[in-house]
């Protein structure tokens, strides 16, 4: 009995030493089930960043899908999104998520018309994220995030919205689709890791 007690103390001590000195990223798998990485991606660049985030912090990876998908033709989708932004129309979503189990939500989206894409606005307006930590991330054609990060803050006024991450992705207009690959993928991966560290992961 005494030997078992000594062994228990020894193992407890070893586990304590193992915990001390771990980086924040190495400890996140224990709470990874509380992370949701939700993304909207047309050219797969935002999806690629979402997968990088999941590799680092764990959690559930969910694609945001519409009940009626956007047209494949680039000019047609540009025209449709412009009308949706003008009229305030929010496209119905096919994706349904039970948010109660999550504490941290990563929101990924491209810049469309220098604004937050209508499907992401649909998600934020139809779901209550109050009290949750929200981290937006973005890919764009080289013109930046526009007003999208600010729109996330407005639609998540009762959330803890952290600093967002943005990077250049594809340029669909010019036929450049998946751009985050090969050497550029390694560069973006390092940037994502730095961004996560800055936000406590």
Residue with tokens 């006024």: 157
Q: What is the pLDDT of residue 18?
A: 34
- Sketch out the chain's domains with CATH numbers: 20-198 (3.40.50.360)
103-139 pLDDT, tens digit each? 999 999 999 999 999 999 999 999 999 999 999 999 9
| Spatial distance between the Cα atoms of 177 and 181, rounded to a whole number of angstroms | 11
DSSP string, 3-65: HHHHHHHHHHHHHHHHHTT--HHHHGGGGGGGEEEEE--SSSHHHHHHHHHHHHH--EEEE--
Residue 25 confidence (pLDDT): 35
Phi–psi pair at 184, nearest 5 degrees: -65, -35
The residue with tokens 């606005």 is 121
Sequence-ordered list of residues with C-beta below 8 angstroms from that of 17, at least 6 positions apart, any chain: none
3-state secondary structure of 128: coil
* Closest by Cα among 39, 19, 66, 48 to 181: 48
- Residue 19 reports pLDDT greater than 70: no
What is the structure's pLDDT at 31? Answer: 60
Handedness of CA 25, 28, 32, 35 (dihedral sign): negative
Instruction: Tell me the per-residue pLDDT of 153-164, one tens digit each, with 9 for 90 and over.
Output: 999 999 999 999
pLDDT > 90: what percent of the chain?
83
Residues paired with 93 in a beta bridge: 66
Residues 50, 35 contacting (CB under 8 angstroms):
no
Q: Tell how far CA 137 is from the center of its chain.
A: 6
Residues 6+ apart with CB under 8 A from 56: 25, 28, 192, 193, 196, 201
Q: What's the rounded mean pLDDT across residues 71-81? A: 96
- Report pTM: 0.84
How would residue 32 be classed by pLDDT, with cut points 50, 70 and 90?
confident
CB contact at 8 A, 65 and 97: no
Cα 141 from Cα 42, distance rounded (Å): 12
Mean pLDDT of 95-103: 96
């Amino acid at each position: 009995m005494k030997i078992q007690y000594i062994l228990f103390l020894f193992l407890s001590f070893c586990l304590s030493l193992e915990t001390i000195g771990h980086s924040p990223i190495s400890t996140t798998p224990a709470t990874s089930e509380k992370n949701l990485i939700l993304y909207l991606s047309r050219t797969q660049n935002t999806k690629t960043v979402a997968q990088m985030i999941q590799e680092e912090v764990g959690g559930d990876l969910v694609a945001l899908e519409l009940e009626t998908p956007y047209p494949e033709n680039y000019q047609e989708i540009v025209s449709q999104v412009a009308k949706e932004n003008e009229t305030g129309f929010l496209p119905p979503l096919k994706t349904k998520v039970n948010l109660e189990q999550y504490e941290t939500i990563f929101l990924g989206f491209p810049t469309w018309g220098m604004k937050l894409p209508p499907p992401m606005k649909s998600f934020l307006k139809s779901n209550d994220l109050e009290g949750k930590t929200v981290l937006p991330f973005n890919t764009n054609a080289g013109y930046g995030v526009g007003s999208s990060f600010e729109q996330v803050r407005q639609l998540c006024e009762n959330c803890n919205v952290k600093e967002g991450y943005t990077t250049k992705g594809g340029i669909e207009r010019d036929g450049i689709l998946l751009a985050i690959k090969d050497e550029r993928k390694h560069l973006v991966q390092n940037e994502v890791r730095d961004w996560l560290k800055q936000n406590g992961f």
